[in-house]
Amino acid sequence: MKCKKMIVSALLAVAVLTGCSLQSTEQTKEEGAQAEAMKQESVAVAEMAETKTVEIINSKGEKIGVATLKEEEKGVRILVEVSKLKPGKHGFHIHEKNFKDTDFDSAGGHFNPTHKEHGLKNPKGHHLGDMHNLEVKSDGTAVQTEFLEQVTLKKDHPHTLIGRSIMIHSDEDDQRSNPAGNSGERIAAGNIVE
């Protein structure tokens, strides 16, 4: 009788250990699958979150700052950090082409693939390249973030920012009047390239 109890106990122990081992194997497989799914998701996010760095120069060709563009789900976020500018508000836009050398006029007009009016306060809708005025502090520096909807950093898309330019104007943009909100001359810019 004692021997039978020992055999039964031993068999129960083996069954428990086997069950634990199977459960452990299943758990390991599940954890592995979860880790693989997370890895694929992070790769997809990394591909979506493409970034571009744009050097901002003044009309003398001197570097005065940088803009960082980051692809997001519904558009592109732009962080601009500049210095050596006149304090106050400055028109700030995306223009339709890259400029050549320091000829900022060669950048063309505002980026406007949807054929809207100018200005964020325009009741008829605004250019995709319109942004808030760049606010420069008394020390001549500005750090500002903008988010442009319906645009992308994907090269072959009709709303791509690749091949366009970031433009800073001398005066405040009134955010209503065409073609550029009376924002004055083009004083600094940066090309968005591949």
- Cβ pair 54, 79 in contact under 8 A: no
Note the pTM of the prediction, 2 decimals. 0.72
Check residue 175 and give its pLDDT.
74
Does 103 share its domain with 152?
A: yes
Does 131 share its domain with 175?
A: yes
Check residue 47 and give its pLDDT.
47
Does 12 share its domain with 101?
A: no
Does 96 share its domain with 20?
A: no
Cα 90 from Cα 169, distance rounded (Å): 5
Q: Is residue 18 pLDDT above 60, yes or no?
A: no
Does 147 share its domain with 168?
A: yes
Identify the domain containing residue 29 by its residue range: 1-48
Check residue 7 and give its pLDDT.
53
Cα 169 from Cα 136, distance rounded (Å): 12
DSSP codes of every residue in 53-65: EEEEEETTS-EEE
Does 68 share its domain with 18?
A: no
Domain boundary among 48, 63, 83: 48
Q: Give residue-wise pLDDT tens across range 58-115.
A: 999 999 999 999 999 999 999 999 999 999 999 999 999 999 999 999 999 999 888 8
Q: How many domains does the chain have?
A: 2
